[in-house]
Structure 1
Amino acid sequence: MKQISLDEEYEKDTGITPQDIAELRQWLQTQPHLPEKYITDLDLILAYHCCHNSSGLTKQVLDLNLTLRTLFNNIFKDRYNDRIEKLMSDLLLTPLSMRTKEGYVILYARLLNSDPKVFHYGDAVKAVLMVIELYQYEEGTWPGMLLTVDFKGVSLAHLAKIDLFSLQHFLYYLQEAILLRLKGMHFLNAPPFIDKLLLMMKPFMKKELMDMLHIHTADSKNLKDYFPIEALPNDSGGNAESNEKHKDMVLAKLKDYKPYFEEESNKRVTESLRPGKQKTISDIFGGVEGSFKKLEID
């Protein structure tokens, strides 16, 4: 495990300064319910960057991020376990080595084992966020990220295993509290039944996320308009290393990060210490006012 250095982060063209982060740290120390001693300067940089260097917005989003990590036990409790390791042998989740022309990271996901019996949607959601976090730990801020899901091998039996509870939580976290700039979602090799998945997703998606979602069937010609097709693994239509090699690299990295995820479990809110009213799941989904984090459409 090697965290990107703060010096490297400050050298990036983000406009973030040590003074900005020091001021956020001072604010954090006034919040008794937040786990200040476990929040790193890199965490603060990621939050500040995703909020376009707005201090006020960063405070709201960081609080929400930590609150959801506490409330969404299905995603954030017991993150590294044997089931995740097994899932990551049957599923490829990897940032591709090439970026888009804008410099965005492309997170690529696909099944390696198409047997629905080995697919667990809740674990897949956990794994997506774990992979994003461990690469952010090493690389720091990104100009943006594309979430790219390849539907090769996906059947209706897989859709039947999606629990709406985890889907709602994942999409809410993705839209409101993830510490990165999401720039697009792409579904590749979309099957004829993709409309059934969209019907499940739409109740939990804001218009901005719907506008970011691009559906590509197997014969689509416009994928190259969004990212370099050669970035894909060579057995998924590109020129990069194979799916298996990508999987082996990510799985090895994930195993190295077991101590990181044990430490990450401390990044939780103590609701009894929150000034004012404590937050509950019903507060989150019972009509929070507005949304803090602005999704951008390119």
Structure 2
Amino acid sequence: MEADPYRPTRSQIEFVRQQLGTSEEALKSDVTALREWLRDQPHLPTDGMDDDRLERLHIIYKCKIERTKKALDAYFSLKNAFPELLLNRDPHDSNIRQSTETVMFYGIPQLTPDGFRVTTIVFMPPTKEIDVAAICKHVIIATETMLALDYALGNILIVDLKHLAMSHILAFGSSLARKTVSIYTTIYNRSVKRIHLVNAPALVDKLVAVVKVLMPAKLVKRILIHRAGKDTLFDHVPREFVPNELGGTAGTSEELFELSLATMAGIREWLVRQDEMVSDESRRPRRQPGFSLLRKLDVD
């Protein structure tokens, strides 16, 4: 496949901008304003995010300046609170590579006609103790990669539960998984159009019970359950955006996952350097409270 397959075409960029009621000129003006705001924040690194990423973060927050500012504050500040998840993010780390034996997480390269990225999670048969920290960090690295390359209105999530086991449910009910969901919804608050749980076994009710605790109520309402042997998924997602194993034509999960890993590896040096881009809380203005996950941004 081509290099950087997740990069949008010019027409896709224009479509997303039109849907958000913005333009190239307006975005340049907003990015300039956000850059100036960063320079005025003594506790935040001024060069911790390039203009392309800044624009993509602004797109995630529907081009709302104040919401993007809060996300930027959280982006740098939460590294102090959760270094186990937001620092030392090296996709070549052996633990992260081994985590792929438990869960595969990847995006479909092409965007849907309405400007959404289909992202797939595949639970693998558990063969040993699940390394929750490595899996959570892998998800964050993959999300960071999307921020570097992607230009979409949001996500459609497909979760393959064919091999769901109680050990998966227990692992993803852990405190680290809760932190990861909170970090995701606080920093990378990307709109989720729908969550499709496919090949749903009897255990799915227990998984949904855990998810209800982890996720905002708005997201829980967007969950659709598709029982094993049913093809109801294709009432919502065209086959060309679904991996072959689930009856689609997007390619095999192995191919798509390797593509995702290669794309993450492509920004490895940048990811490693980001350990230096952390807020200095000793310099935070007194009028600004420290950022905590209790100050979450709204979910669209």
2:99 paired residue among 87, 102, 107: 87
Larger mean CA deviation between 90-99 and 258-267 belongs to 90-99
Residue 213 (structure 1) aligns with: 223
Instruction: Indicate the RMSD between aligned Cα atoms, in angstroms.
Output: 2.8
User: 2: distance between equivalents of 1:271 and 1:210?
Assistant: 34
CA gap of 1:220–1:74, structure 2 versus 1, over 3 A, is: farther
Contact in 1 for aligned 2:158/2:196 (Cα 8 Å): yes
Residue-pair matches, total: 286
Q: Which residue of 2 aligns with 1:293?
A: 298
Q: Alpha-carbon deviation of 1:41? A: 1.0
- Report the counterpart of residue 122 of structure 2 in structure 1: 110
Give the AA of the match of 1:100. T
2:239 to 181, 204, 229: 229
Normalising by structure 1, we get a TM-score of: 0.84
Which consecutive aligned stretches of 4+ in structure 1 deviate over 4 angstroms post-superposition? Answer: 1-5, 7-13
Amino acid in structure 2 at the alignment position of 1:293: D
Deviations 1:25-55 (A, max 9, x none): 1111011111111221123212221221111
Matched residues in 1 for 2:242 and 2:51: separation? 33
Query: Residue 293 of structure 2 corresponds to which residue in structure 1?
Result: 284
State the TM-score, normalized to the length of structure 2: 0.83
Shift in Å, 1:225: 2.9
Partner Cα distance (1:294, 1:231) in 2: 25
* Contact kept in structure 2, 1:61 and 1:176, CA below 8 Å: yes
Structure 1 pair 163/72, CA: closer, same or farther in 2 (3 Å)? farther
Alpha-carbon distance, 1:4 to partner? 6.1
* Contact 1:100/1:226, CA 8 A, preserved across alignment: no
Distance 2:284 2:161 in 1: 43
Deviation at 1:108, TM superposition (A): 0.7
For residues 16 and 256 of structure 2, what CA distance do their matches in structure 1 show? 29
Q: Which deviations, in whole Å up to 9, do the C-alpha atoms of 1:58-102 show, x marking residues without a partner?
A: 112221233223322232122212111222355422111343342
Give 5+ residue unaligned stretches, structure 2.
none
Question: Any residues of structure 2 matched to 1:40-119 within 5 Å, and which?
Answer: 40-80=50-90, 81-88=93-100, 91-111=103-123, 113-117=124-128, 119=130
Contact 2:96 2:134 in 1 (8 A): yes
Contact 1:101 1:227 survives alignment (8 Å): no
Does residue 195 of the first structure (1) align with residue 205 of the second (2)? yes
- Give yes or no for the alignment of 1:146 onto 2:151: no
Shift of 1:243: 2.0
Q: Which amino acid aligns with 2:128?
A: K
Mapped partners of 2:244, 2:13: distance in 1: 35
1:198 partner SS? helix
Note the alpha carbon deviations across 1:192-247, whole angstroms, 9 max, x for none: 11222222232333221111222222144431232113422223322232222223
User: Is this contact kept in 1: 2:111–2:152, CA < 8 A?
Assistant: no
- Kept in 2, the 8 Å contact 1:167–1:201? The answer is no
Q: Which ranges in structure 1 are unaligned for 5 or more consecutive residues?
A: none
Read off the aligned partner of 1:92 and give its amino acid letter.
Answer: M
Identity %: 22
Deviates more, 1:158-167 or 1:143-152: 158-167
CA distance 1:122–1:229, shift in 2 (3 Å)? farther
